[in-house]
Amino acid sequence: MSHKLTSNSLNNRPLKDETKLLDTLFSTVVKFSPKLLIAILILPVLGGLLGVLLPAFGWLPALDRTQFGLQGFQQLVQTPGIAQMIGLSFFSSIVSGLLAFVITLLLLANYFDSPWLARIQRLLGPILVIPHAAAAIAIAFLITPSGMIARLLSPWLTGWQSPTDWLLPHDPYGISIILGLTLKELPFLLLMTLGAIAQPELNIKLQAQYRVALSLGYYPITAFFKAVLPNIYPLMRLPMLAILAYASASVEMPLILGPNTPPTLAVAIMNWFHDVDLSLRIKASSGAILQLFITLSVLFTWWLLEKLTQAISSKSLSNGQRTYGDLFWSKIINIFTLLLIGFIALALIGMVFWSFAGYWQFPLALPEQWVIMHWQSALLQVQTPILNSLSIGLVATSIALILTLLTLEFEKQNGAQLSRFSSVIIYLPLMIPSIAFLFGLVWLQEAVHSKATFINVALAHLLFVLPYVFLSLATSYRLLDSRYAQVAASLGASPIKIFLQLSLPQLLMPIMMASALGLAISFSQYLPTLLVGGGRLNTVTTEAVSLANGASRRTSAVYALIQMLLPAIAFSLIWLISMRKKRQKAQVKLNNKTASYITKVNR
Amino acid sequence: MSSVFENNSLQIKNLTIMRQQTPLLSLNETIKGGDVLTIMGPSGSGKSTLLNWLTGMLPKEFQADGQLYLNDANITKVASYQRNIGLLFQDALLFSHLSVAGNIAFAMPKGDSKTRAIKISQALSDVGLAGLENRQPESLSGGQQARVALLRVLLSQPKAILLDEPFSKLDSQLRQETRQLVFEQIRQHQLPVIMVTHDESDAIAANGKVLHLKTPQQDI
């Protein structure tokens, strides 16, 4: 039919052909984007793993080692303090994960039905985008012997006139690391859980079952643990595992807060890789394999704990006990929440103070002198790092955004979600310790003689940006009412027109949110920037970390604050735009209302 | 067996519920044990708001004036979990992480686990569900789920029961049977009941006083 039509109207023919070409191109691009997305995630990770696996067993042609052997592992075992390194990595991740989990549950249980939950969510939300390095610096400043806590308690409580010698931070037991990781993981877990239970259908069911439990005489906290938690834990499991995997191999936190002799395994591996003695690379690669096993055993331990808790608690779920000292616990949680928020606020305030502090003698809680000198000198030097952060972030986020949107469009057109396999792949860079594959990736990039540092770094960032952008956009895209697209198609709109003029505008806010998130993730990357960039590309984050151990506290504070400000600016922009949109909508509504009122009166 | 009291009663004294200073509904009623007060009205007339007030879960945007007495005790300010008022919704809302027996046990007072298990089996066979203790709630039919939900409420030994459109999701044959069972059981336990519905046949079957709430005035 259409063929006949076009042959009748010759004038339209070139235009039609052009749109047809565009349509075909679009459908091809859409068809291949899921495969490209998976490839971009899976190839560097697997290639990187291979690039670590071979040297780990002694095969490193660059050093003329082409025989497989176990020397790397032998050296590893003989390293002094290796047991402490492993123990530190293992326990700091398990304990911090457990603490973050328990605190999340207590907050949820105590405020499940209260407006405070939303308020706490809003308070903790911004911490999510604070880079690990900046958070670690803030916490280090807070707990150090001359930090804000010691200042506020001295001399009236402690009697200290000068900073005493206590073990925090850098304590050999990893307490500071645990503190830092817990505070950073808590908002992530809480927000992921709240996001999961905000799904309309599930939320209605949970609220109703919670009320059933209350009406059956269950006290609120017990009602949450017995009636709600068993239904939401399955949704918390994956974020929980991501936290544990990250914590077991993180570098920034232990670098800034942890002990040096010996450090955690991940930090030690990084040092070996960076050693001038290139033969240490074999030991480092073996270490990376060991790191993988530690991460796996942390995840396995969590699984064991989960099964154990299930076995112990399954009977008591329906034993009819309505309260376990709920009223007491509620008071404790209230106090704890206040302390928690106070602790975080104090850490941030302390950092702002340091960045403007001139002369500041010990027990005084406020600086005696306020100066802007540190900011001035830092701003002179930080311009290139800021530009680098921005350009890497923009490139990585744009690619991530385009790939994600096209992949989701593919899903929509084919009416099917990604396969289970693909969904797991998207999490891959978050689950596999980056220290275990990034070195292999560097080695691969060296092997193919890729000298384009900027592109290499941006692609490495993409590995970590893409999962977050995808996860953040997928829900909204999948919830998009497909009837709009059907209506548009029935009016003769082509798929590309529907995509560009219908789907994208409808998703403007989620897309903006995903972009801000992608930028924030990219800004915070330390290890990929350092390793893939080979130290030639400095970002605000790499500068902040290298300044954290060594430079003056005041300069360090300025850098950490700049590091926090970058994502904050991105999110504030989004917030401003959304407020504007809301106001416009409200204006339109008001105008309509006035109009209808006037019509009524006139009648 | 607190539920066989002669003087069970639920008393609503001079209740007015307002939304932003606009009165939504006013009520003054006493329901004796075994009686059912049926409340009917179109959506938006404040039926569920009334139930929320009765359970102590009135949302912030509403203000209420008036007293609630349960067996002559003033419970207006008592927290929802200490009111002893059972709730039955149109959805069974069984806990999917617990078995049928687990759901009922969840509601029962604490006690010896063997005695509890015997009571559960007894109750299940009373309503024609003998032997289903270890089934998962999802594997039951809608009518069966409704009956388990009823048992869950009754075995929690409430002092009054609120029914929120309890039969509206059941088809007509099942509806009649379930309705009969619910009213029978409630009468046996001599509990005061408030039922919210918009089905005339529910009201007739309840065989008690019927109140019609009006649609609130439309604001311009």
Supply the pLDDT for residue A18.
75
Q: Is B107 on the interface with A (CB under 8 A)?
A: yes
What gap in Å lies between CA A377 and CA A567, rounded to an integer? 22
Name the one residue in this structure whose structure tokens are 């106090």. A335
What gap in Å lies between CA A328 and CA A302, rounded to an integer? 29
Contact between A460 and A441 (Cβ < 8 Å): yes
Supply the pLDDT for residue A401.
95
Residue A217 backbone zone (phi > 0: left; psi -120 to 50: alpha; other: beta): left
List the beta bridge partners of residue B36: B193
Nearest residue of A to residue B90, measured between CA atoms: A208
Q: Is A225 on the interface with B (CB under 8 A)?
A: no
Q: What is the mean pLDDT of residues A204-223?
A: 93
Supply the pLDDT for residue A594.
63
Q: Is residue B218 part of a domain?
A: no
Q: Among B198, B195, B94, which residue's Cα sits nearest to residue B153? A: B94
Q: What is the mean pLDDT of chain A?
A: 88
- pLDDT tens for A500-555 read 888 888 888 899 989 999 999 999 999 999 989 888 899 999 999 988 877 788 99
List the beta bridge partners of residue B70: B10, B73
- pLDDT tens for A314-335 read 889 999 999 999 999 999 999 9
What gap in Å lies between CA A578 and CA A584, rounded to an integer? 10
- Residue B25 has φ and ψ, to the nearest 5°, of -160, 155
Q: What is the mean pLDDT of residues A283-302?
A: 95
- pLDDT tens for A408-467 read 999 888 877 777 788 788 888 888 888 888 988 888 887 776 678 899 999 999 999 999
Which among A209, A218, A231 has CB closest to B81? A218
Residues 292-321 of chain A whose Cβ lies under 8 A from any Cβ of chain B: 317-321
What percentage of chain A reaches a pLDDT higher than 70?
A: 95
Q: Is A219 on the interface with B (CB under 8 A)?
A: yes
Q: Among B59, B58, B85, which residue's Cα sits nearest to residue B71? A: B85
CA dihedral A163, A168, A169, A173 (to 10 degrees): 160
What gap in Å lies between CA A548 and CA A542, rounded to an integer? 10
Q: Is residue B18 part of a domain?
A: yes
Q: Which residues of A touch B91 (CB under 8 A)?
A: 208
What gap in Å lies between CA A264 and CA A173, rounded to an integer? 10
Residues 137-176 of chain B whose Cβ lies under 8 A from any Cβ of chain A: 152-153, 156
Q: Among A313, A245, A99, A253, which residue's Cα sits nearest to residue A186? A: A99
What gap in Å lies between CA A386 and CA A543, rounded to an integer? 10
Say if the Cβ atoms of B81 and A227 lie within 8 Å. no
Q: Which residues of A touch B107 (CB under 8 A)?
A: 216, 320
- pLDDT tens for A524-538 read 999 999 989 888 899
Question: pLDDT confidence of A15, banded at 50, 70, 90?
Answer: low
Supply the pLDDT for residue B4.
46
Question: pLDDT confidence of A83, banded at 50, 70, 90?
Answer: very high
Q: Among A233, A222, A246, A232, which residue's Cα sits nearest to residue A309? A: A233
For chain B, the domain total comes to 1
Contact between A131 and A541 (Cβ < 8 Å): yes
What gap in Å lies between CA B93 and CA B107, rounded to an integer? 13
Q: Is B82 on the interface with A (CB under 8 A)?
A: yes
Name the one residue in this structure whose structure tokens are 């052997």. A69
Question: pLDDT confidence of A343, banded at 50, 70, 90?
Answer: very high
Q: Which residues of A touch B84 (CB under 8 A)?
A: 217
Supply the pLDDT for residue A593.
65
Q: What is the mean pLDDT of residues A50-60?
A: 88
Strand, coil or helix: A156: coil
Q: Is residue B120 part of a domain?
A: yes
Question: pLDDT confidence of A597, banded at 50, 70, 90?
Answer: low
- Residue B58 has φ and ψ, to the nearest 5°, of -70, 125
Non-local CB neighbours of A100 within 8 Å, separated by 6+ positions: A181, A182, A185, A186, A188, A189, A243
| Helix residue ranges, H only, A357-452 | 373-381, 383-414, 420-431, 434-447
Which among A208, A218, A320 has CB closest to B93? A208
Q: What is the mean pLDDT of residues B63-88?
A: 91
Contact between A129 and A549 (Cβ < 8 Å): no
Q: Among A399, A386, A410, which residue's Cα sits nearest to residue A464? A: A399
Q: Identify the residue with better confidence: A159 or A288.
A: A288
Lowest-confidence pick of A7-11, A397-401, A468-472, B180-184? A7-11
Q: Which residues of A touch B52 (CB under 8 A)?
A: none
Within A30-71, strands assigned E span 59-60, 65-66
Structural class in CATH, domain A25-63+382-563:
mainly alpha
Supply the pLDDT for residue A16.
66
- pLDDT tens for A173-202 read 999 999 999 999 999 999 989 988 888 888
Which among B57, B84, B93 has CB closest to A217? B84
| CATH for the stretch A86-266+316-381 | 1.10.3720.10
Which among B97, B101, B103 has CB closest to A230? B97
Both tokens of A562, joined, read: 């700049």
Q: Is B86 on the interface with A (CB under 8 A)?
A: yes
Q: Which of B97, B116, B136, B155 to mutate to test the interface with A (most CBs of A within 10 A)?
A: B97
Supply the pLDDT for residue A461.
95
- Residue A32 has φ and ψ, to the nearest 5°, of -90, -15
Question: pLDDT confidence of A275, banded at 50, 70, 90?
Answer: confident
Q: Is residue B131 part of a domain?
A: yes
What gap in Å lies between CA B55 and CA A212, rounded to an integer? 10
Strand, coil or helix: B210: strand
Chain B nearest C-alpha distance from A218 (Å)? 6
Chain B nearest C-alpha distance from A121 (Å)? 20
Q: Is B83 on the interface with A (CB under 8 A)?
A: yes
Which among A213, A218, A320 has CB closest to B108? A320
Residue ranges covered by each domain of chain A: 25-63+382-563, 86-266+316-381
DSSP state at residue B211? E
Q: What is the mean pLDDT of residues B56-63?
A: 88
Non-local CB neighbours of B123 within 8 Å, separated by 6+ positions: B104, B151, B154, B155
Say if the Cβ atoms of B96 and A231 lie within 8 Å. yes
Chain B nearest C-alpha distance from A115 (Å)? 10
Supply the pLDDT for residue A584.
81
Q: Which of A235, A309, A318, A592 to mutate to test the interface with B (most CBs of B within 10 A)?
A: A318
CATH of the domain at B186: 3.40.50.300
Helix axes A82-111, A265-274, angle to 10 degrees: 130
Question: pLDDT confidence of A69, banded at 50, 70, 90?
Answer: confident
CB count within 10 Å of CB A136 equals 31
Residue A119 backbone zone (phi > 0: left; psi -120 to 50: alpha; other: beta): alpha
pLDDT(A397) > 90? yes
Size of interface A-B (CB pairs under 8 A): 74
Q: Is residue B8 part of a domain?
A: yes
Nearest residue of B to residue A215, measured between CA atoms: B81
Q: Is B84 on the interface with A (CB under 8 A)?
A: yes
CA A286 to chain centre: 27
CA A431 to chain centre: 12
Buried/exposed A64-98: b ≥16 CB within 10 Å, e otherwise:
ebeeeeebbbebbeeeeebebbbbbbbbbbbbbbb
Helices (H) and strands (E) in chain A, counts: 27, 2
Contact between A284 and A439 (Cβ < 8 Å): yes
CB count within 10 Å of CB A302 equals 21
pLDDT(B217) > 90? no
Buried/exposed A496-508: b ≥16 CB within 10 Å, e otherwise:
bbbbeebbeebbe
